[in-house]
């Protein structure tokens, strides 16, 4: 299968890779059975050491080497040949980035020595492990130039009071809650506008029914009647406006994302928080194991010195025993670190997927609001246009006003007699 | 001076003629000194019998023969020559019409005989003298095809209750009062509209200041802020509308024709009513004189019969005396009829001039109202146009809404940390 480079697929690759990587971390479990599952399902032949295969949401298989940070769409063969074609240009490959599983598998004795020889090159903040500044490979953003939520909220931050710290994820949740509130307040605002329009319409149509100047006659009377009627028509326009505002703007803004939305956010919240708690306890386990190992190694040293002083089979036995226990402690520490890294990777995975879900939700919210505020302006324009057309018949009849015609009509109806008086004869 | 036939002058001629005719009536005063005045002023030579001269409002001299109903712009000479060139075509000449002075001047004795010989060819209604149906020359309208007030309100009419009768002139006055009332009610209507606009504007600008969704951020926040601001702008538009309605429509309608108007109408009313009262008393005078003459003639007859029975100088004397008294009574009646006709002519003149004044006022009222209701529709159109322009900036900013941009702004401000966690080393 050929790798895809086009823009649309670019993030998919990166994201799949993350998920892959996360699985890599998960693979560190001593019981590696489940980890092997996806690969075995399709191909019985084992992958070269360090390689694992994953399936993208589209069902495409791709391969990750967690030590060399290589990714490829082509199945690596056992005869570990020249570096595979990378899944994405190296600078955008998450495998130059964080959450790599740097754990080496090896024989217990070595491990014990390693634990003594190698200082840790990372620091923990609130039980999350970050690379020391300048240490480790440089990290590229998961979604460069996108200002994606999944790239900027890894650290906890002190809350305004600076007393206890807030997880970066909380900041994302706050944004969501605020967005929901804004949407609700916009609906309220539109509702207020609706009430104003209804009041205006009520007053206009009430006035249009007033009997004022009802007895005006002739062409002027007709124009006046139409002018009064036009207020009723205007009222209708504003009533239509308020009705449409209700169904086409207020309601959509109000009902967009019901109460489930907040429940969903809580679920996300608890899920991520639980993982952080788990991470803390795993971290405590690591610390405990690290101390135990140190004690064991100290004990082994003492016993070795005693051996040098006076030879006895008794001591020989003790040293063997001490070394066994030290080796055991090394294995314990290794297991605890693995467990810790698995949990951190799980949290990492959830952080990426969930923050990108929240990002999607925010884009939807903004587009939804934009769409319905546009509807608002469309309705406003309509209203002005309709209103204008309500005045035209009045203009028409005002043009037809004709004092001569009105006099004729009135005189015909009210004349008393057109025979003029004449002189009286004698 | 040549006669004028063009349309514009046509009514002027007719109307001048009316006035002239009215003067004719006035000329019947026994003391004819004042009547001769206009003519003597210019020409000492007397006019042929029956002719009188008058001056039109333009100062043009014209001549009227009240017996032959002729009118001319050329001074008739004493040698009564062939019929003069008429002032206007005979069918439009008022002298084929009403209010002609049919009184003949002649020697008392003749008059007395006339009084016996000639029956009156007209009837009186409420002391106004009208030609009997079919009797007398046919009347043409003073302003044909114009439905002029001056042509249709000569008769009194019974009021709705049918108890007492209302003068035609009262009907014209009622129309004026009603018109004033209509104009006042239209102003009230506009005032109500103004109040509605002010209320609407108040509510809109209040809502535009509401803090709802004030914390919306980024490009969406900008669009929302503009949308709220647009309500303030709309409010301004409606406020401007209501202010202009006040100064350019309500006020002009309210102040057009102040309280003086009703005072003027009262003056007209009283003036015409007084003339009608005068006419009534003159009418009573005529009736009295007519009865006196009849008595005198009866007495003369009796005395003449006595003379036929037995001859005596005594009776001769009585007869002479009775004839003198009868002649006197004839003169009295003639004078009373003249006085009556003068008053009726004066009333006729006032009716024509005043009703035409009222007609002018009504035309002015209708045109004034038409003009200011047009201003109303103009302002309404303006308002819709301005309102539309208030929405455009909102449309603009809604177009610019960009979820990506908003995420960038928000992330830059709220990110907690972009360094991703890494696996813990042993």
Which residue in A383, A30, A393, A252 sits closest to B234, CA to CA?
A383
pLDDT band at B309 (very low <50, low <70, confident <90, very high): confident
Q: Could you tell me if B137 and B9 are in contact, meaning their C-beta atoms sit under 8 angstroms apart?
A: no
A45 contacts: CB under 8 Å, gap ≥ 6: A78
**CA B6 and chain centroid, separation:** 25
Q: Could you tell me if B275 and B346 are in contact, meaning their C-beta atoms sit under 8 angstroms apart?
A: yes
R_g of chain B computed on alpha carbons: 41
The encoded tokens of residue B323 equal: 């004839």
Whether the CB of A360 is below 8 Å from some CB of chain B: the reply is no
B188 pLDDT above the threshold of 70: yes
A243-264 residues labelled b (16+ CB within 10 A) or e (exposed): ebbbebbbebbbebbeeebeee
CA distance to partner chain B, nearest, from residue A384 (Å): 5
Which residue in A421, A416, A283 sits closest to B279, CA to CA?
A421
DSSP state string for A85-101: PPSS-GGG-GGGSS---
Whether the CB of B121 is below 8 Å from some CB of chain A: the reply is yes
pTM over 0.90: no
Task: Identify the H or E element spanning B17.
Answer: helix B7-27
Whether the CB of B118 is below 8 Å from some CB of chain A: the reply is yes
B189 pLDDT above the threshold of 90: yes
Are B340 and A366 within 8 A, CB to CB?
no
Q: Give the residue-averaged pLDDT of B220-229.
A: 97
Mean pLDDT over all residues of chain B? Answer: 79
pLDDT band at B3 (very low <50, low <70, confident <90, very high): very low
pLDDT at B276: 95
Q: Is B406 exposed, middle or buried (0-12, 13-18, 19+ CB in 10 A)?
A: buried
Determine how β-strand B61-65 pairs with β-strand A165-166.
unpaired
CA distance to partner chain A, nearest, from residue B382 (Å): 9
Q: Could you tell me if A70 and A84 are in contact, meaning their C-beta atoms sit under 8 angstroms apart?
A: yes
B250 pLDDT above the threshold of 90: yes
In the stretch 241-270 of chain A, residues with CB closer than 8 A to chain B read none
Q: In chain A, which residues have pLDDT < 70?
A: 1-44, 52, 54-74, 78-121, 311-314
B360 pLDDT above the threshold of 70: yes
Which residue in A280, A275, A289, A279 sits closest to A335, CA to CA?
A289
pLDDT at B312: 61
B261 pLDDT above the threshold of 70: yes
R_g of chain A computed on alpha carbons: 41
pLDDT band at B162 (very low <50, low <70, confident <90, very high): confident
What's the CA gap between A260 and B204, in Å, rounded?
34
Are B426 and A189 within 8 A, CB to CB?
no
Conformational region of residue A322, where left means phi above 0, alpha means psi within -120 to 50, and beta covers everything else: alpha
Q: Is B23 exposed, middle or buried (0-12, 13-18, 19+ CB in 10 A)?
A: buried
Q: What is the pLDDT of residues B140-150, one digit of tens each?
A: 899 999 999 99
* Strand, helix or coil for residue B85: coil
What's the CA gap between A422 and B131, in Å, rounded?
6
Phi (first) and psi of residue B71, to 5 degrees: -135, 145
Tell the residue number behind the tokens 């002075």, with chain if given: B101
Best mutation target among A101, A237, A425 (most B Cβ atoms within 10 Å) is A425
Q: What is the pLDDT of residues B229-241, one digit of tens each?
A: 999 999 999 999 9
CA distance readout (Å), B224 to A104, A187, A190, A249? 56, 12, 12, 14
Q: What is the pLDDT of residues B91-130, one digit of tens each?
A: 333 333 344 333 333 333 333 444 443 445 678 889 999 9
Best mutation target among B213, B368, B386, B421 (most A Cβ atoms within 10 Å) is B421
The encoded tokens of residue B120 equal: 């009156």
Long-range contact pairs involving B382-386 (C-beta distance under 8 Å, separation at least 24): B382/B241, B383/B237, B383/B238, B383/B240, B383/B241, B384/A384, B384/A385, B384/A387, B384/A388, B384/A391, B385/A384, B385/A388, B386/B237, B386/B240
Chain A CB contacts of B423 below 8 Å? 25, 99-103, 129, 341, 344-345
pLDDT band at B287 (very low <50, low <70, confident <90, very high): very high
What's the CA gap between B291 and A224, in Å, rounded?
59
Share of chain B above pLDDT 70, in %: 73
pLDDT at A312: 61
B369 pLDDT above the threshold of 70: yes
Q: Which of A102, A212, A426 sits opposite B189 (nearest CB)?
A: A212
CA distance to partner chain A, nearest, from residue B383 (Å): 9
B222 pLDDT above the threshold of 80: yes
Determine how β-strand A128-131 pairs with β-strand A157-158.
unpaired
Which residue in B58, B1, B47 sits closest to B24, CA to CA?
B47
Which residue in A376, A371, A366, A365 sits closest to A190, CA to CA?
A376
A146 contacts: CB under 8 Å, gap ≥ 6: A11, B404
Alpha helices for B209-312 (secondary structure H): 218-245, 251-255, 260-309
Q: Could you tell me if B253 and A216 are in contact, meaning their C-beta atoms sit under 8 angstroms apart?
A: no
State the Cα angle at B356 between B353 and B359, rounded to 5°: 155
Tell the residue number behind the tokens 């804004």, with chain if given: A182
pLDDT at B314: 67
DSSP state string for B197-236: HHHHHHHHHHHHT--TTTT--HHHHHHHHHHHHHHHHHHH
Q: Could you tell me if A210 and B191 are in contact, meaning their C-beta atoms sit under 8 angstroms apart?
A: no
The residue among B105 and B63 whose pLDDT is bigger is: B63
Query: How many angstroms separate the first and last alpha carbons of chain B?
Result: 136
**CA B104 and chain centroid, separation:** 35
What's the CA gap between B57 and B35, in Å, rounded?
17
CA distance to partner chain A, nearest, from residue B339 (Å): 10
Are A147 and B408 within 8 A, CB to CB?
yes
* Strand, helix or coil for residue B51: strand
Which residue in A414, A219, A412, A419 sits closest to B175, CA to CA?
A414
Chain B CB contacts of A192 below 8 Å? 207, 210, 212
**Is this complex's ipTM strictly greater than 0.90?**
no
CA distance readout (Å), B148 to A331, B182, B359, B360? 124, 22, 7, 10
Chain A CB contacts of B201 below 8 Å? none
Q: Could you tell me if A70 and A86 are in contact, meaning their C-beta atoms sit under 8 angstroms apart?
A: yes
Q: Could you tell me if A96 and A68 are in contact, meaning their C-beta atoms sit under 8 angstroms apart?
A: no
């Amino acid at each position: 299968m050929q790798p895809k480079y086009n823009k649309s697929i670019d993030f998919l690759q990166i994201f799949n890779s993350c998920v892959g990587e996360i699985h890599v971390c998960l693979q560190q479990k001593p019981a590696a059975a489940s980890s092997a599952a996806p690969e075995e399902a399709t191909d019985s032949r084992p992958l070269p050491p360090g390689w694992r295969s994953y399936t993208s949401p589209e069902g495409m298989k791709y391969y990750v080497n967690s030590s060399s940070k290589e990714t490829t769409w082509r199945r690596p063969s056992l005869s570990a040949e020249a570096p595979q074609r990378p899944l994405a240009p190296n600078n955008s490959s998450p495998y130059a980035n964080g959450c790599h599983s740097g754990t080496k598998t090896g024989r217990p004795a070595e491990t014990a020595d390693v634990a003594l020889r190698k200082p840790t090159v990372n620091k923990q903040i609130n039980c999350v492990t970050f690379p020391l500044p300048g240490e480790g490979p440089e990290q590229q953003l998961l979604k460069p130039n996108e200002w994606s939520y999944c790239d900027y909220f890894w650290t906890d931050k002190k809350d305004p009071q600076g007393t206890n710290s807030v997880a970066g994820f909380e900041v994302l949740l706050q944004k969501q809650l605020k967005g929901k509130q804004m949407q609700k307040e916009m609906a309220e605002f539109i509702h207020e506008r609706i009430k104003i329009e209804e009041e205006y319409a009520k007053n206009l149509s009430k006035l249009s029914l007033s009997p004022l100047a009802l007895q005006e006659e002739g062409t002027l009377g007709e124009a006046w009647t139409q002018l009064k009627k036009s207020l009723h028509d205007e009222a209708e326009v504003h009533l239509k406006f308020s009705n449409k505002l209700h169904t086409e703007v207020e309601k959509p803004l109000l009902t967009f994302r019901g109460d489930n939305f907040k429940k969903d956010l809580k679920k996300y919240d608890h899920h991520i928080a639980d993982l952080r708690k788990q991470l803390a306890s795993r971290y405590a386990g690591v610390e405990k194991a690290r101390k135990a190992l140190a004690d064991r190694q100290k004990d082994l040293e003492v016993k070795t010195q005693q051996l040098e002083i006076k030879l006895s089979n008794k001591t020989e036995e003790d040293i063997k025993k001490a070394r066994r226990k030290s080796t055991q402690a090394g294995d314990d520490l290794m297991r605890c670190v693995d467990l810790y890294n698995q949990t951190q990777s799980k949290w990492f995975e959830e952080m990426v997927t969930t923050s990108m879900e929240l990002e999607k939700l925010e884009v939807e919210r903004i587009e939804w609001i934009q769409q319905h505020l546009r509807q608002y302006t469309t309705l406003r324009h309509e209203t002005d246009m309709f209103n204008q057309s309500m005045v035209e018949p009045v203009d028409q009849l005002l043009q037809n006003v004709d004092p001569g015609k009105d006099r004729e009509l009135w005189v015909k109806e009210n004349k008393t007699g057109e025979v003029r008086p004449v002189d009286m004869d004698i």
